[in-house]
């Protein structure tokens, strides 16, 4: 158990630093690989399968990562994450270039395999970090620390997206895979940071049959989030919101490139700007969540979705296109409000984490996020494909985006409904007390 305030601050600083570098490299890798597949003329269904291969593995193994965090020194889990992430990213480049010249289908399978390995790494990185923050933070600190973590994650992705644009500019479409080799080295560098600068994070539970218990925790997030009454309403909101995020992360980049004609570099820069605004307010909203409560802060974020829609509609109504920087400046207030959602939900989940099971419980965050993203990607693909088939003759290039937009509206409404029906903080505390007394 870490006892001194100085050592706890050290833990948080090292976690945030390692997370920044990890997310910088993984964010750039995520966007670059999607855009590389598109530039190489892979079909949309292949891009969708490629994207799902990451999230599916990440979500299913979150419970395993949580179990390992509780049963071993959490540093070992974090170091293993950096090794797997670095190796998987380098493997995109080394055999990937060769496979592209031999057989495109073989190259696609290889890319999916590497992306699945990156999903394992992400699971081993996110869950221990969330568990450590929850374990060593009291109620009045969890919100702001989760907000800082969210900020570091998104800011790392912002820089990563911008770097992916730089790589496309420097290397071009044909040699962009070389950038992945550089990113792999950055990911590997996070391992020594966690190993040498974090103090020992002791296990909090005894384990005897490691393999059996690890296997038993595959997909365990569904038990954590949906079986327990204290987290079921939170899970519904998180899945809906993550579906919106999955739509934006995958189809946002593709639609910018496929429908609006933006280059890979321009697409990278636009998404970097959006994430910078979305992540920058995380610490602010985390602080607010510690002061006024988790649900009120989450509701502010839900209202931000509505504000963003109205501001976007206003910008379009006065003739400002989405390709203009002024469009994004107009909707910034709504995006600022939306950033209240993640810190408040993370703090709320951490409030429910029993000390001895903080890793397993916090793995629920990654499970519902990944499954929500997969759901958003699949439903977005269905909407895009059907709209292209049925509406191209009437609205032309807008058919695909319109199909994705209709799916987004559905998840938008589900998010709003789930947010406003979220259990109150007072009621949640009563349920937590009852569950702890049963334990």
Share of the chain above pLDDT 70, in %: 87
The 10s digit of each residue's pLDDT in 386-409 is 888 887 777 666 677 778 888 888
**Measured in Å, how far apart are the chain's first and last C-alpha atoms?**
21
The predicted structure's pLDDT at residue 256: 55
The 10s digit of each residue's pLDDT in 204-221 is 887 778 888 889 999 999
The pTM for the full model equals 0.83
Per-residue DSSP letters for 347-378? HHHHHT--GGGHHHHHHHHHHHHHHHHHHHHH
Distance CA 242, CA 248 (A): 10
At the fourth CATH level, which superfamily is domain 5-196+214-438? MFS general substrate transporter like domains (1.20.1250.20)
Mean of the pLDDT values across residues 37-50? Answer: 77
The 10s digit of each residue's pLDDT in 331-340 is 889 988 999 9
- Measured in degrees and rounded to the nearest 5, phi and psi for residue 14 equal -65, -40
Distance CA 21, CA 30 (A): 14
Q: Please check whether residue 276 is in contact with residue 160, taking contact to mean a CB–CB distance below 8 angstroms.
A: no
Q: The tokens of 210 are what?
A: 């490691």
Q: Any idea where the domains of the chain sit in the sequence?
A: 5-196+214-438
- Smallest CA-to-CA distance from 60 within 373, 358, 408 is with 373
Q: Is it the case that residue 5 has pLDDT exceeding 60?
A: no
The predicted structure's pLDDT at residue 65: 94
Q: What is the mean pLDDT of the chain?
A: 84
């Amino acid at each position: 158990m870490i006892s001194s305030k100085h050592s706890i601050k050290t833990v948080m600083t090292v976690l945030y630093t390692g997370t920044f570098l990890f997310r910088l490299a993984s964010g750039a890798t995520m966007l670059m690989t999607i855009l590389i597949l598109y530039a190489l003329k892979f079909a949309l269904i292949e891009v969708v399968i490629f994207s799902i291969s990451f999230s599916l593995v990440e979500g299913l193994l979150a419970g395993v990562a949580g179990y390992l965090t509780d049963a071993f020194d959490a540093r070992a889990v974090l170091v293993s994450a950096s090794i797997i992430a670095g190796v998987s990213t380098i493997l995109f480049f080394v055999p990937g270039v060769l496979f592209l010249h031999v057989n495109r289908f073989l190259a696609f399978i290889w890319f999916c395999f590497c992306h699945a390995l990156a999903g394992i790494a992400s699971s081993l990185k996110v869950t221990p970090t969330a568990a450590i923050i929850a374990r060593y933070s009291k109620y009045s600190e969890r919100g702001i620390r989760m907000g800082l973590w969210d900020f570091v994650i998104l800011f790392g992705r912002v820089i990563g997206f911008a770097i992916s644009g730089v790589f496309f500019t420097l290397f071009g479409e044909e040699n962009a895979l070389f950038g992945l080799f550089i990113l792999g080295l950055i990911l590997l560098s996070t391992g020594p940071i966690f190993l040498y600068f974090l103090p020992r994070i002791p296990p909090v539970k005894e384990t005897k049959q490691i393999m059996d218990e690890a296997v038993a925790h595959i997909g365990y997030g569904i038990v954590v989030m949906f079986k327990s009454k204290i987290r079921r309403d939170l899970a519904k909101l998180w899945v809906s919101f993550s579906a919106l995020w999955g739509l934006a992360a995958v189809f946002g980049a593709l639609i910018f490139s496929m429908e609006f004609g933006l280059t890979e570099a321009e697409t990278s820069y636009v998404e970097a700007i959006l994430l910078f605004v979305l992540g920058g307010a995380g610490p602010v909203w985390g602080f607010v969540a510690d002061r006024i409560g988790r649900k009120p802060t989450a509701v502010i974020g839900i209202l931000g979705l509505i504000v963003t829609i109205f501001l976007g509609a206003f910008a379009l109504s006065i003739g400002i296109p989405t390709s203009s920087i002024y469009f994004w400046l107009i909707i910034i207030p709504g995006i600022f409000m939306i950033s209240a959602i993640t810190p408040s939900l993370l703090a709320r989940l951490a409030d429910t984490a029993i000390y001895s099971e903080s890793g397993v419980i916090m793995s629920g965050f990654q499970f519902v996020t990944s499954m929500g993203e997969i759901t958003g990607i699949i439903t977005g693909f269905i909407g895009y494909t059907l709209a292209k088939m049925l509406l191209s003759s009437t609205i032309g290039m807008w058919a695909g985006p319109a199909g994705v937009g209709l799916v987004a509206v559905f998840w938008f409404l589900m998010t709003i409904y789930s947010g406003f029906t979220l259990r109150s903080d007072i009621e949640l505390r009563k349920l937590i007390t009852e569950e702890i007394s049963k334990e």
